[in-house]
Amino acid sequence: MLPTDIDLLRILGRPALSGDGRLAAVSVTAPDVAADANATELWVAATDGSTPARRLTRGPHDSAPAFSPDGRWLAFLRPLPGGGPAQIHLLPMDGGDPFPVTDLPLGAGQPAWSPDGTRLAFTARVPEPGRYLPGVPPGKERPRRITALRFMADGLGFTFDRPRHVFVTAPFATGAFAAAPAAAQLTSGPFDHDEVAWSPDGSLLTFVSGRHPGHADDLRRDVWVCAPDGSGQRPLTQGGLEMSCPKFSPDGRTVYFAAETLTADGRARGASSYGLWSVLSDGSADPVRLTDPETHHLSFSSLMIQTGQDGVYFPNDWHGEVHLVLVPYDGGEPRPVVTGPRQVNGFAVAEAPDGTTTVAAVLSGAESAGDLTVLRDGTERELTSFGAELRARARLRPIEEFTAHTEDGYPLQGWLIRPEGPGPHPVLLQIKGGPYTQWGYTLNGPASFEEAQVYARAGYAVVLGNPRGTSGYGQAHGRWAADDLARRTAPDLLALLDHALRDSALDAGRVGVQGGSFGGYMSAWLAAHHGKRFRAAMGERGCYAIDSHFGSADDGVNNSIALYGADTARWAELSPISYADQIDIPMMFIQSEEDRHTPMEQAQRMFVALKMRGVPVELLLFPGEGHDMSRTGLPSHRVARYEAILDWWSRQMPEEDDRAPAR
């Protein structure tokens, strides 16, 4: 796979199904290197395969499709003509042009149809008076008075002065093609509200929000309900959880949601499994956890659940795979729906009165960024073929799975992607972010095989693996490194590397280490403590100085304590910046200027520390990009990043290099 082959990586969003399960719609995002833009269009397919999938809209920024219950309308998000934020539009499925039904200053969020198909609920950011005015550039706004810890987010900027609220609109109240009435705002105050869903009879809405004292200083969120006119707002939970994805049961008596437990002061716990919970919709009982934290963790590649007649559909991280399981309402063992060496990246379920269940899922694999697949009556049918085009044109290399063992005999899952030819090949140890995520069978997302394919095409053997501290292997596996993250993770990473280097086709004398986010942190740590093992290192968007990260990152307070402990006296001991005087190998840092998750000062401090010592060091800065630049940035930036990394390794591990192995 070449850097410019990102053109072939079609990223599919969450699919939508018509009520009868006959049609599936999905957004498809495609980087366009020539136009230097990312275009998102809607596609639709007949789930019985009778007609091929086809492009439904031309974008360039159409997303979040949702069928009306009768299938006559498709709601989706699109900016209004002339630009601006995305607004909800309706497309008549029997023909005709889409038209907008919202016109809010900061746009609208994912639409959710009422059961009778007459109303749409959604959330939208509401600016403080005098903020975010059309034609007023950010540099000319009045100063912001900040009084809470959580006031910004990567990819969004400031959030505290534009909280997200719940809205309902009745788009057909004045006729299908007449101007829709203004959406009614149901919630108010300086609180964020998110992920609104309807009860089966349409009498209630549920959503998540933190509306307690100190709501902007901690992670606590609660499940709330209210009437569709905003009356009767009440919480169903009373703290202790960080949650998402609330959904009513078919009888409306229970709300199911995904959540992780928090500390007593509302902070995150390191490597805490995100499980399935339930609470009665009348609020008469405490919430109950339904899944075992050792076997089930909601996959962040889907980050959704859906209730059905017999149970809750739940996407679960498992050994590099993401399975879709059905958690029964009666408390029985979760039943597999989708398994195997692939990942579920979003799904929808339609249940017909005759008992027929249709599941539409975006399934990615080691050679696919995702295709739309339908499952019905035990049969799978792939509705799109984006992966086939990628495989035909990108010359993807095979994925070799292996099991390494630590000194204490613990098994670790790893993968090797080797280039063409007999070798010996230079080697890259690639470290993922997180840390509570997993490398796995996908070319889509933050821990995919996409990058490894690019490096393998360029002649490098790439070693990847899931050390203890990752998700997908149980909470005990995930929490093993919590007390001493870097020092406990490093031996596992080196065990994975050593196992791969047993292969004589790999050149143990030409090994580099690189990674992003947590992987950037570990790359710098390995460069300082195990530098003799590597020719050079590359760290991207990493945390290198915990003390300053604590105060400068969008969620530095929670992440720093969750990952490195509450004892601030130990932070220097756990920070790569403290060991900069031990780094003697060349090192490159890649950083996005607008990254608020690991701000630029982190890489800048490391660059200056190494530069002052005369260590060969480079800092590559990308303007206008945030933490996820390598996955969602401008195509020109993504290609330039790949070119810079390949140039770096070609200079650090030239082909003619015959120096003795570094062990």
Q: Residue 17's beta-bridge partner residues?
A: 24
Q: What percent of the chain has pLDDT over 90?
A: 90
Q: Residue 462's beta-bridge partner residues?
A: 417, 428
CB 27 within 8 A of CB 41: yes
How does pLDDT run across 185-198, given as a tens digit for each residue? 999 999 999 999 99
Give the closest residue to 330 by CA, choosing from 278, 377, 295.
278
pLDDT of residue 378: 85
pLDDT of residue 153: 94
pLDDT of residue 180: 64
What's the rounded Cα separation, in Å, for the pair 133 and 309? 46
Q: What is the mean pLDDT of residues 453-471?
A: 97
- Tell me the pLDDT band of 264, cut-offs 50, 70 and 90: very high
How does pLDDT run across 423-437, given as a tens digit for each residue? 899 999 999 999 999
pLDDT of residue 176: 53
- Tell me the pLDDT band of 446, cut-offs 50, 70 and 90: confident
pLDDT of residue 175: 61
pLDDT of residue 571: 96
Lowest mean pLDDT among 75-79, 253-257, 387-391: 387-391
pLDDT of residue 145: 95
Considering the domain 397-652, what is its CATH architecture?
3-Layer(aba) Sandwich (3.40)
Give the closest residue to 130 by CA, choosing from 120, 140, 141, 114.
141
Specify the pTM: 0.95
Question: How far from each other are the two terminal CA atoms of the chain, in whole angstroms?
Answer: 30
Angle at alpha carbon of residue 627, lines to 652 and 637, rounded to 5°: 60
What's the rounded Cα separation, in Å, for the pair 362 and 374? 9
Give the closest residue to 480 by CA, choosing from 410, 545, 530, 544.
410
Helix (H) or strand (E) holding 373: strand 368-376
Using the structure block, give the residue that is written with the tokens 């039943």. Answer: 335
How does pLDDT run across 591-610, given as a tens digit for each residue? 999 999 999 999 999 999 99
Asked if residue 569 has pLDDT above 70, the reply is yes
How does pLDDT run across 604-639, given as a tens digit for each residue? 999 999 999 999 999 999 999 999 999 999 999 999
CB 281 within 8 A of CB 254: yes
Phi/psi of residue 139, nearest 5 degrees: -70, -10
- Count Cα neighbours of 516 within 13 Å in the Cβ-side half-sphere: 20
pLDDT of residue 355: 85
pLDDT of residue 99: 94
Using the structure block, give the residue that is written with the tokens 């099991």. Answer: 403
Q: Supply the mean pLDDT for the chain.
A: 94
How does pLDDT run across 545-556, given as a tens digit for each residue? 999 999 999 999
Two tokens at 514?
């690189």
pLDDT of residue 655: 81
Asked if residue 536 has pLDDT above 80, the reply is yes
Dump the DSSP string for 610-650: HHHHT--EEEEEETT--TTHHHHS-HHHHHHHHHHHHHHHH
Q: Can you tell me whether residue 3 is helix, strand or coil? A: helix
Give the closest residue to 172 by CA, choosing from 115, 112, 111, 120.
120
Q: How far is CA 250 from the centre of its chain?
A: 28
What's the rounded Cα separation, in Å, for the pair 106 and 85? 6
3-state helix, strand and coil shares in percent for the chain, rounded to the nearest 5: 20, 35, 50
3-state secondary structure 569-620: HHCCCCCHHHHHHHCCCCEEEEEECCCCCCCHHHHHHHHHHHHHHCCCEEEE
pLDDT of residue 61: 95
pLDDT of residue 178: 57
Dump the DSSP string for 261-323: E--TTSPPPTT---EEEEEETT--S--EE-S-TTT--B-TTT---EE-SSEEEEEEEETTEEE
pLDDT of residue 662: 44
Residue 207, C-beta contacts closer than 8 angstroms, at least 6 positions apart: 123, 166, 193, 194, 195, 196, 197, 223, 224, 246
CB 66 within 8 A of CB 75: yes
Q: What is the mean pLDDT of residues 325-353?
A: 95
How does pLDDT run across 220-241, given as a tens digit for each residue? 999 999 999 999 999 999 999 9
Q: Where are the domains of the chain?
A: 61-126+164-185, 397-652
Angle at alpha carbon of residue 591, lines to 32 and 633, rounded to 5°: 15
How does pLDDT run across 123-144, given as a tens digit for each residue? 999 999 999 998 899 889 999 9
What's the rounded Cα separation, in Å, for the pair 29 and 431? 26
Question: Kind of pairing, strands 343-351 and 357-365?
Answer: antiparallel
What's the rounded Cα separation, in Å, for the pair 324 and 380? 14
Q: Can you tell me whether residue 17 is helix, strand or coil? A: strand
CB 449 within 8 A of CB 430: no
Q: Residue 361's beta-bridge partner residues?
A: 347, 373
Asked if residue 177 has pLDDT above 70, the reply is no
Asked if residue 661 has pLDDT above 50, the reply is no
Helix (H) or strand (E) holding 387: helix 386-394
Sheet with 99-100, strands from edge to edge, namely 63-67, 73-79, 86-92, 99-100
pLDDT of residue 179: 61
Residue 377, C-beta contacts closer than 8 angstroms, at least 6 positions apart: 356
